Amino acid sequence: MNLDLTGRVAVVAGGSKGIGRAIAVELSRSGASVAIGARGEDALEEARAEIADCASAPYVFRGDLCKTDEVERMMSGVADHFGHIDILVNNVGDSIVGHDWRTSDADWAAMLETSLMSAVRCSRSAIPHLLESDHARIINISSVNGHQPTAGRGDYNAAKAAVLAYSKTLSLELAPRVTVNSICPARIDTPLWRRMAESMLDDATPTIDEVLASVGKRDVPMGRFGRPEEVAALAVFLASDHAAWITGVAYNVDGGYTKASA
């Protein structure tokens, strides 16, 4: 199957680490010109070097992609630099274990800003450019928690459920010009999960790698955490011409973690 994306321009919001970075790398390897945006300077520079090492140098934007003015500055900068935008990947997000029914309004607002409104603002800013493309794609990184919630992450679960509903809505509003699909990962070995694993260290699992191995064996039928590259492979397919008639769909990439059949 030829997934050649030569000539396409892809924006990966939240593209400096983990799943977003893996997607940016794989899009670039498939021929796309890539732009990445995030807040952390060191992670952005590491991502820039990795992408440039395997393909062409990316356009890099350092800023807060939860803020409308910075999102608009990034999208206009990408369009000016490359001439057009064909693909948007929304991957900005965060998760904190232990946010239960007592979670404050401020924490709820912060989670919704990061994990939902970043996708709304990036999409709103990119769509006028995407509507000029013959290969327009929006790919939203949600989570299996959006349809199979876990305790202690109520704000995250709700935000990711909202991303799924928003994606479906956009798919109806933008058809047939733009396809809009969601990817729902679970138990992927990312910096975010490694940060959360720090709270799970104990005598039986004294290192982060041992925590991830234990949780993977316990929770995932495939017996391990997934790799960011395994999520990126689906994103590249959804960005390609082979997915031109697929829209409004949410795909689990979870090693069998999700219990429901649909």
Question: What number is the average pLDDT over the span 66-90?
Answer: 98
Question: For the whole model, what pTM was predicted?
Answer: 0.95
Residues 200 and 141 in one domain: no
Count the domains in the chain: 2
The whole domain housing 65 covers: 9-187+228-253
Residues 146 and 158 in one domain: yes
Residue with token string 């305790």: 151
Q: What local confidence, expressed as pLDDT, does residue 1 receive?
A: 79
Average pLDDT value over all residues in the chain: 95
Query: Does the pLDDT of residue 170 top 70, yes or no?
Result: yes
Q: What local confidence, expressed as pLDDT, does residue 14 receive?
A: 97
Q: Do residues 227 and 199 make contact, with C-beta atoms less than 8 angstroms apart?
A: no
Residues 150 and 246 in one domain: yes
Residues 125 and 217 in one domain: no
Rounded Cα distance between 161 and 145, Å, is 7
* Tens digit of each residue's pLDDT (9 = 90 or more) over 30-73: 999 999 999 999 999 999 999 999 888 999 999 999 999 999 99
Rounded Cα distance between 198 and 192, Å, is 10
Of 253, 192, 261, nearest to 220 (Cα)? 253
2 lies in a domain?
A: no
Residues 84 and 198 in one domain: no
**Amino acid present at 72:** E
Helix (H, G, I), strand (E, B) or coil at 6: coil
Residues 63 and 110 in one domain: yes
Q: What local confidence, expressed as pLDDT, does residue 262 receive?
A: 58
165 lies in a domain?
A: yes
Active site residue 156: yes
* Tens digit of each residue's pLDDT (9 = 90 or more) over 102-140: 999 999 999 999 999 999 999 999 999 999 999 999 999
Rounded Cα distance between 37 and 75, Å, is 10
Catalytic residue, chosen from 59, 156, 166, 257, is 156
Number of H helices and number of E strands within the chain? 9, 7
